[in-house]
Amino acid sequence: MTTDSLPGKVAVIGAGSWGTTFAKIAADSGAARKAEVQIWARRPEAAEEINSTRRNTRYLKDTVLPANLRASADAAEVLAGAQLVVLAVPAQTLRERLREFRSLFPKDAVILSLMKGLEVGTDARMSQVIAEELEWPENRIAVLSGPNLAMEIAREEPTASVVACSDLAVAGWIAAACTAPYFRPYTNTDVIGTEIGGIVKNVIALAVGICEGKQMGDNTKASVMTRGLAETTRLAVALGGKTETLFGLSGMGDLIATCSSSLSRNHTAGRLLAQGLTLDEVTETMAQTAEGIKSAQAVLDRATQLGVYMPITENVVAVLQGAISVDELGPRLLARELKPEGVHAS
């Protein structure tokens, strides 16, 4: 696989904020070589709006989409002939979508996951769900992750990201197919570390959002983020990921962006919980995917199986389950026994 033959057709499954924004990146990137990008929208009205107005107003109010980006609610049409298939649906819905579309995937396509969730019940990463459901070879499944708030990228604010694949040449091929003047993808081969960084930062962003909602200051938030990165790294390494990945764009980079931004849905969910909304009210108010809410329990289950200590995650889960109040989160974390700082100290 070389960058001499980049994909002539890219299919994007999921027309939410990130699916649509990534489709714009791929279309901008491929415009000069006349590449076509097609996006699958669950709602036919959304596809119709994209095709007739070049906008997806529900998710990206002010963005005009490129002319070489088309949409359809017909997955067969979107997937036909695609060399790169990009998946951007909520993590807990991925398996059912793959089962539905399985026979439509072009057999030699490369699959790229944009999703940052862990499947409830199996604790599987999205790349594992794809490999299982489609019986796809590992070296043709990649993930993209990093400090990538969709809204900022849709406005073409300069951003970096990481494409991870066990085959570095495949990661490089994808990176070349989605590089744009405002988007710079790096590559690595650590799929596990890259995915875990993106998954767990959502849980840490819930905790930071709670701190923010309780009017706590920057010291508190920086302390949660830093120790959050430590527990994320412990889990990633226990699963086979690399420490250095967690100190890169898909670990520290994404953690900083998500925990600092009011654009983040996970951060927003934490703030709303701190303001006294119930979990159901938070979900209803936001009407967008905050993966940390569902993934937190799966992260904790996986950590428990592996004997990895994740105190922030454990307490966020307790808040989400209603076992403790948002006011108890801080005191419970601070009352623990004192210990050396190291990332791998449990």
Ligand X SMILES: O=C(CO)COP(=O)(O)O
Cβ neighbours of residue 131 under 8 Å, at least 6 residues apart?
137, 138, 141
Q: Is 265 annotated as a binding residue?
A: yes
Does residue 87 interact with ligand NAI by CB under 6 A? no
Query: 146: annotated binding-site residue?
Result: yes
| All residues at 6 or more sequence positions from 257 whose CB lies less than 8 Å from its CB, including other chains | 147, 148, 149, 264
Q: Is the dihedral of CA 314, 230, 292, 118 positive or negative?
A: negative
Rounded alpha-carbon distances, angstroms, from residue 203 to 111, 280, 318? 26, 17, 12
Applying CB under 6 A, which part among 31-39, 67-75, 114-122, 163-171 lies near ligand NAI?
114-122
Binding partner of residue 90 among ligand X, ligand NAI, none, CB cut-off 5 to 8 Å per kind: ligand NAI
Amino acid letter at 12? V
Say whether residue 266 binds ligand X (CB under 6 A): yes
Give the interface size with ligand X as a residue count (CB under 6 A): 15
For residue 313, give both structure tokens.
């995650």
Which is catalytic among the residues 24, 201, 242, 294? Answer: 201
Q: In DSSP terms, which residues pair with 72 in a beta bridge? A: 40
- Annotated ligand binding at 43? The verdict is yes
Cα(170)–Cα(78) distance, rounded to whole angstroms? 22
Q: Does 148 bind ligand X (CB under 6 A)?
A: yes
140 forms part of the interface with ligand X (CB under 6 A): no
Does residue 201 have an active-site annotation? yes
DSSP secondary structure code for residue 60 in this structure: B
Query: Under the criterion CB under 6 A, does residue 282 sit at the interface with ligand NAI?
Result: no
Q: Does 185 bind ligand NAI (CB under 6 A)?
A: no
Q: Is 319 exposed, middle or buried (0-12, 13-18, 19+ CB in 10 A)?
A: buried
In angstroms, rounded to a whole number, what is the distance separating the alpha carbons of residues 163 and 150? 16
SS3 content of the chain, % helix, strand, coil (to 5): 55, 15, 35
Q: How far is the CB of 118 from ligand X (least distance, A)?
A: 14
**Antiparallel, parallel or unpaired: β 9-13 and 36-40:** parallel
By the rule CB under 6 A, 194 interacts with ligand X: no
Q: Binder to ligand NAI among 148, 159, 268, 313 (CB under 6 A)?
A: 148
47, 69, 79, 91: which one binds ligand NAI (CB under 6 A):
91
Q: Is 18 in the site for ligand NAI (CB under 6 A)?
A: yes
Residues near ligand NAI (CB under 6 A) are: 14-19, 42, 59, 88-91, 93, 97, 114-117, 148-150, 288-289, 291
Task: Report, as residue numbers or ranges, the catalytic residues.
Answer: 201
Residues near ligand X (CB under 6 A) are: 116, 147-149, 202, 205, 254, 257-258, 264-267, 290-291
